[in-house]
Amino acid sequence: MYPEVVPVVRCPNCTAHPLTLLGPLYEDGEIVVGALRCEFCAVQTPIREGIWDALNDRLLPLTPAQITNYLPPAARLYEPLWRWNALTLMSGRRFPLREELTLLRGLIQPRPDRFYLDVACSAGLYARTLAAPGAIVAAVDHSWAMLREARRQARERGLRISYMRASAQALPVVNGAAAGVVMGGSLNEIGDQHAALCEIRRVLEPDGQFFCMNLVKATSGWGRVLQSGLSTGGVDFPKLATLNQWFDRAGLRREAQWRWRVVAITLLQLANLK
């Protein structure tokens, strides 16, 4: 975790108060050991291995799909074995990762000294894309294995990204702090989608943008059979109309949307913008 992120985080317990940094140990400018304390409710949460544990070792109820993300081999192999070719396999066209990340950068347009948040970051692919131009970036996940892998990759590339262990349904970030929020594929297995989307709306600046890539219900017979099997493990595949209803209910307005077979990419803003 890096010190420039401390002003935009909030107490994960009383949910409304700023935090004080205690006993930090720095390495190359990163806080690798320390704690954040809320002076209002006195709750103290640790920073270990450079990662702020806002959950404070609390366990969350998990689906089989989410449990897989807790395994270190899964975290290490997620990007090289799956993510690099995922959209090409699922979209029905050649869709290299470079094209996806170019689209992400072009739509979000990360700027130096603005704050951006990668929610349910997995191995941190989107966070690294946002951090490259020098933006202030934090990434959230509840899997220690994924967070450790994400931090390892960021440090190897010399990128300054703060990692937080937290739930997408309770983001430890102050209201209206983020110029942009991104989520890559995790909406399908995140659990309470409405609560997560409402949290994303809460942390966005009035003119902030939300980039969401996720999967929707297949139209082919084989695709539906495969998705039906995955659904038993806690992965949800909404119809595109249902997905858009989720966004609407959370107060997020669609600015643009693309669909290639089961792959959907949506750019959203706050619905109350004029």
Helix (H, G, I), strand (E, B) or coil at 255: strand
**Non-local CB neighbours of 262 within 8 Å, separated by 6+ positions:** 90, 91, 215, 216, 217, 218, 223, 227, 237
Report, as an integer, the average pLDDT of 9-26.
92
Rounded to whole angstroms, how far apart are CA atoms 36 and 20? 5
Report, as an integer, the average pLDDT of 183-197.
92
Contact 166, 172 (CB under 8 A): yes
User: According to the CATH classification, is domain 59-270 in 3.40.50.150?
Assistant: yes
In this prediction, residue 274 carries a pLDDT of 47
Report, as an integer, the average pLDDT of 190-207.
95
Residue 56 clears pLDDT 50, i.e. is over it = yes
Helix (H, G, I), strand (E, B) or coil at 58: coil
Residue 266 clears pLDDT 70, i.e. is over it = yes
Residue 205 clears pLDDT 80, i.e. is over it = yes
Report, as an integer, the average pLDDT of 74-90.
91
Q: How confident is the model at residue 273 (pLDDT cuts 50, 70, 90)?
A: low
Q: Average pLDDT, whole number, for the chain?
A: 93
Strand ranges for the chain from DSSP E: 20-27, 30-37, 44-48, 51-53, 115-119, 136-141, 161-165, 178-184, 204-215, 252-260, 263-270
Rounded to whole angstroms, how far apart are CA atoms 165 and 196? 15
Structure tokens at 78: 């997620």
Q: Which of 218, 196, 190, 200 is nearest to 268 (CA)?
A: 200
In this prediction, residue 199 carries a pLDDT of 97
pTM above 0.85, yes or no: yes
